[in-house]
């Protein structure tokens, strides 16, 4: 009888350690729709400027879309693209958001896709940080602390002055 009780106790312990087959493990649920953000920064804005540009690299675990966001430093945050039309650079809001293919790092950078803080409450000053909350079509919001700094020369597309 003692052996049967011991076997029953072991069976209960093993059953408690294994989740039911029809329920996914919690770790799988947590990573299903996650976007990570790296190297968030904003360019300093001149006094009196009503808008400022910010940049970040986003990587989504599953196909997703950056749809917008918010910051206490601005009335509105928009996702913008830069493109050349008829030899002229044009900036436009991505009203449908920015696609984030699964597993691919998508860089928002000067001269390309970027975030615009519209209606700044105060100038963006080098050395400070700006909280930005990003929203996505599927993933939970991500809040970053964007450092306000000048862009590295290598990041400035078409502005290599090393030969001067």
SS (H, E, C) 118-141: EEECCCCCCCCEEEEEEEECCCCC
pLDDT of 15-58, one tens digit each?
444 444 444 444 444 446 899 999 999 999 998 999 999 999 99
pTM: predicted TM-score of the whole model, two decimal places: 0.73
Q: In order of start, what are the domains of the chain with their CATH numbers? A: 33-150 (2.60.40.1890)
Percent share of the chain, pLDDT over 90: 65
pLDDT of 138-160, one tens digit each?
999 999 999 999 988 644 444 44
pLDDT of 77-124, one tens digit each?
999 999 888 889 899 999 999 999 999 999 999 999 999 999 999 999
User: CB neighbours (10 Å) of residue 49?
Assistant: 12
* Sign of the alpha-carbon dihedral angle for 139, 145, 146, 152: negative
């Amino acid at each position: 009888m003692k052996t049967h009780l011991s076997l029953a106790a072991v069976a209960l312990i093993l059953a408690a350690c294994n989740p039911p087959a029809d329920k996914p493990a919690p770790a799988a649920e947590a990573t299903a729709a996650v976007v990570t953000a790296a190297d968030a920064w904003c360019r300093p804005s001149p006094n009196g400027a009503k808008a400022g540009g910010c940049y970040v690299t986003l990587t989504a675990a599953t196909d997703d879309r950056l749809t917008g966001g918010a910051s206490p430093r601005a009335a509105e945050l928009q996702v913008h693209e830069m493109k050349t039309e008829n030899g002229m650079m044009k900036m436009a809001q991505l009203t449908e958001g920015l696609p984030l293919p699964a597993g691919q790092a998508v860089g928002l950078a000067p001269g390309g896709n970027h975030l615009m803080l519209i209606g700044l409450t105060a100038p963006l000053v080098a050395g400070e940080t700006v909280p930005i909350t990003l929203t996505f079509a599927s993933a939970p919001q991500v809040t970053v602390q964007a450092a306000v700094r000048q862009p590295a020369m290598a990041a400035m597309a078409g502005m290599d002055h090393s030969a001067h």
